[in-house]
Amino acid sequence: MITLQSKCVFSGGAVLAEGPVWDERSQRLYWLDIERGRICRFDPSSKSNQEWILGTRVGFAVLTEQGDMLAGTQEGLIRFSCDTGTSTPYANPESDLSQNRFNDGKCDLQGRLWAGTMSVEEADGAGSLYRVTAPDAVSSQVSSVTISNGLAWTADSSAMYYIDSPTRRIDGFDFNPGSGEISNRRTAIALEEGIGYPDGMTIDSEDMLWVALWEGWGVGRFDPKTGEMLAKIEVPVACVTSCCFGGAKMDELYITTASRDLKEEDRPKQPDAGGIFVAHPGVTGTPSIRFKG
């Protein structure tokens, strides 16, 4: 197995940094601090970081074809403009579940949003995974989810991969790119004890999965056809939350981390917990897909 290193590029001290999205048009990285309800934008060239406070937990934010963002919060889906700092409600499929919030979300290659929910208390099976194409077209695709997390699609859109973190699995589905239907759920990767829980993930140009390892001190590269862990990027933070490819050549991997569960005596050992890291994995990724709805 190959071992790679990462470096901290922004020590922001987030409680729960998550949801990195690379904007290839502006060459900047969007990311979230979930518990503080913040959408953030980091500029690698200037090392500057902007923040917008939503006033509610925010689990993901994807770029849209309209130039704004579609974000998943504890109050449902909202459209948010960084230009104006304003938000408008979009849809709330769980308006009757006030203790649920959206967690990870991502668009398939056809521009449909896939977004999962979870209980803020992490209650077993309280969440769902939704497919979203319009405010009145939000449909549950996977139910009884505990912590809905990473999503990825192969380059030919024949397969979708999905994580419900406590299962310690990355599941695969057959994917119909025309209809957006999923079928034939199976275990693609089962994580061994001791390497952490699977959190957010992305996919590279070779259809290999890069999976953030919560309590695993890094990001693993996995072959979903064999289940083998091919490489690991070491991160000096225990709770690694997500990752995405970025940079002018899409050859950098940006990695988010958390400080939420750190005990006071452990903070000096992980001074950059809650920061943003970058690594050069030796492969490229593809730009984030924008929501078309």
Residues with catalytic roles: 199
Rg for the chain (alpha carbons), in Å?
17
| Separate counts of helices (H) and strands (E) for the chain | 0, 25
What angle (nearest 5°) sits at the alpha carbon of residue 139, between those of residues 152 and 55? 80
Task: Locate 286 and state its tokens.
Answer: 């593809």
Name the DSSP letter for residue 258: B
CB 243 within 8 A of CB 149: no
Q: How far apart are CA 187 and CA 224, in angstroms?
A: 9
CB 120 within 8 A of CB 74: yes
Name the DSSP letter for residue 16: B
Closest CA to 31 of 47, 6, 55, 52: 52
Name the DSSP letter for residue 155: T
User: What SS3 state is found at 151?
Assistant: strand
Start-to-end CA distance of the chain, whole Å, equals 41
Task: Locate 231 and state its tokens.
Answer: 């490489």
**206-238 burial string, b = 16+ CB within 10 Å, else e?**
ebbbbbbbbebbbbbbbebeeeebebbbebbbb
